[in-house]
Amino acid sequence: MSDDLLVIDNVHGGYGGADILTGASLRVSGPEIVVIVGPNGAGKSTLMKSIFGLVQIRGGTISALGHDITNQRADLIAKAGLAYVPQERNVFPSLTVDENLDMGGYLKKSDAAHKDRIYAIFPQLANRKTQRAGSLSGGERQMLAMGRALMIEPKLLLLDEPTAALAPKLVDETLDKIGEIKALGVGVLMVEQNAKQALARADRGIVMVMGKVRMEDDAANLLARPDLPELFLGG
């Protein structure tokens, strides 16, 4: 077993009927930013859920930092060093910003300095510590969801479309935070539809089509491809 942050090896699985993941493999080796793109329904969210034990894996293995996490419980996967931000319902709306961060840290008693580091990355949140999460803007809420996930001091952060439904200006602002997260020594594996903007900030890109990784390359190489739009559509 390796010390890679994440190794997904030939994973098959889904929701009860036919498999959605049909032999997905990928690796995140260190604190790098890896972006997954691909057409709607390709299984990108299903792959993220399968990493976090939320989808039944029927074949293949997933390991994180040397631990086999295949079909493990989410709390054990978090202990192995992974944190996951789903696309929706990723904050507690009735709790304040500060309480959301505390909830994020309940599995691991983070020190106050760590919370301050998170507030330093997201100053908008620092100004709204006592505001209820339900009253935040869409962009602020995504930042809170990321901050909450960072409270357990993960080695790898999984993000499912952190910029979905955000105004264009907020897309750039949100993606810029991901570079700051990497600077903390945290790897980021994220699904993104705003592919160009995400790849521009990423180390590697992965194109997923029909439950498999169709292509994998340096983000700069993928960005330079004239057929990039077709790749997203699975062409």
Ligand X SMILES: Nc1ncnc2c1ncn2[C@@H]1O[C@H](COP(=O)(O)OP(=O)(O)OP(=O)(O)O)[C@@H](O)[C@H]1O
The residues of the shown chain that bind Mg ion, judged by CB under 5 A, are 44-45
Q: Which does 20 bind (CB under 5 to 8 A by kind): Mg ion, ligand X, none?
A: ligand X
Place of tokens 């493990």: 72
**163 contacts ligand X (rule: CB under 6 A):** no
Nearer to ligand X, 20 or 146 (CB): 20
Nearer to ligand X, 48 or 156 (CB): 48
Q: Cα–Cα distance between 173 and 23 in angstroms, integer? A: 34
Nearer to ligand X, 46 or 142 (CB): 46
Q: Cα–Cα distance between 163 and 159 in angstroms, integer? A: 10
Nearer to ligand X, 41 or 93 (CB): 41
Q: Which stretch binds ligand X (CB under 6 A): 38-46, 64-72, 197-205, 226-234?
A: 38-46
Determine which residue in the list 30, 41, 134, 229 makes contact with ligand X, applying CB under 6 A: 41
Q: Which does 106 bind (CB under 5 to 8 A by kind): Mg ion, ligand X, none?
A: none
Q: Which stretch binds ligand X (CB under 6 A): 43-51, 173-181, 196-204, 212-220?
A: 43-51
Q: Which of residues 13-32 bind ligand X (CB under 6 A)?
A: 15, 20
Most distant CA pair in the chain: distance in Å? 48
Nearer to ligand X, 50 or 110 (CB): 50
Q: CA angle 121-49-199, nearest 5°? A: 50
Asked whether 35 and 215 are in contact (CB, 8 A), the reply is no
Q: What b-and-e string marks burial along 147-180, b requiring 16 or more CB atoms within 10 Å of the CB?
A: bbbbbbbbbbbbbbbbbeebeeebbebbbebbee
Please name which of 155, 149, 152 lies closest in space to residue 66, comparing C-alpha atoms.
155
Judged by the rule CB under 6 A, the positions of this chain that interact with ligand X are: 15, 20, 38, 40-46
